[in-house]
Amino acid sequence: MSNDLVSVIMPVYNAEPWLQRAIDSVLSQSHTDLELIAVDDGSSDRSPCMLDAYAADDPRVRVVRQPSNQGVAAARNAGIAAARGDYIAFLDADDWWHPAKLERQLTSMRNTGSLISYTSYWRVTEDGGVLSKVMPPPQVDWRDMLASNFIGNLTGMYARQLGDVPFQRIGHEDYVFWLEQVRRAGKAVRVESPEPLAWYLVRERSLSGNKLRAASWQWDIYRSIAKLGMMQSAFYMARYVQHAVLKRRGARI
């Protein structure tokens, strides 16, 4: 196992329209010491065939198959269990990366000694339009993370020495994951870059697009996961709403 090997976890479920772009953005990284663990979560389209073709062509691609559709949390957990790298990064099958993303991220983590890093990213529509640029703070700790998920899951990476934690089958499962990892690490640091290093596709029918449902999930996280009291939960809920509005407007969060 190399100290520079990055395991990229990609859940895949009926992702045929976007899969090639996502995979190509991983395999074209300037940091080439990586493995792409694509977890097929019971797809019924051409995604499994596409994954097999990539795996046959590039030994860095490994395909893990779920026996049935079990959801994104279970797929990511299966990918983490199969990972061999000393760093773990995540990319969903409809998002994509800048070619220098992993290289700049590894350099940042070495220079700062951080066990977790993240980057700025673009929010884009299915027809290619830019909705906003998300620019998170230069550094966050656990209390900062209570106000908002400053770590876009497609940008986050952690050093394996921190230890793995499972994704929970819960609304905002990526937020709960990074909230716990930042608590364990003490802090996370943003990669300094002249441009955003990832593109997040906002699909019209995405679950996260339901604002009332998302707010309900957030409240449950404060009360059930973070174990905050009513007053603290209300305080952070107000900050969560404020940051959600800023993220969609493209302001610094």
Q: Which long-range contacts (CB under 8 A, 24 or more apart) does 177-181 make?
A: 177/153, 178/116, 178/145, 178/149, 178/151, 178/153, 179/142, 179/145, 179/146, 179/149, 179/221, 179/225, 179/226, 181/116
Each residue's pLDDT tens digit, 19-56 = 999 999 999 999 999 999 999 999 999 999 999 999 99
DSSP state of 125: -
pLDDT at 208: 46
Percent of the chain, pLDDT > 90? 77
Nearest partner of 94 among 23, 163, 183, 34, judged by Cα? 23
Domain locations in the chain as residue ranges: 1-94, 101-156+168-253
From 210, 115, 106, 204, select the one nearest 158 (Cα to Cα). 115
Does residue 253 register a pLDDT over 60? no
Fold (topology level) of 1-94: Spore Coat Polysaccharide Biosynthesis Protein SpsA; Chain A (3.90.550)
More confident of the two residues 235 and 195: 195
pLDDT over 70 (residue 247): no
Tokens of 172: 């905002």
Q: Does 209 score more than 60 pLDDT?
A: no
**For residue 184, is pLDDT > 80?**
yes
The average pLDDT across 95-102 equals 98
Least Cα distance to 199 among 45, 58, 91 occurs for: 91
For residues 178-203, give the mean pLDDT. 97
Q: State the pLDDT at residue 242.
A: 84
In this prediction, residues 152-181 reach a mean pLDDT of 96
pLDDT of residue 249: 64
Lowest average pLDDT, out of 68-77, 226-235, 238-247, goes to 238-247
* Average pLDDT value for the chain: 92
Q: Would you call 121 exposed, middle or buried from its count of C-beta atoms within 10 A (0-12, 13-18, 19+)?
A: buried
What does the pLDDT read at residue 214?
82
DSSP per-residue letters across 50-119: HHHHHHHH-TTEEEEE-SS---HHHHHHHHHHH--SSEEEE--TT-EE-TTHHHHHHHHHHHH--SEEE-
What's the pLDDT score for residue 136?
95
| CA angle (10 as vertex; 7, 15 as ends), nearest 5 | 160
What is the β-pairing status of strands 61-65 and 198-201?
unpaired
Q: What is the pLDDT of residues 129-141, one digit of tens each?
A: 999 999 999 999 9
- What gap in Å lies between CA 16 and CA 123, rounded to an integer? 20
Quick one: pLDDT at residue 205? Answer: 60
How high is the pLDDT of residue 141?
97
pLDDT at 207: 42
- Look up the pTM and report it: 0.91
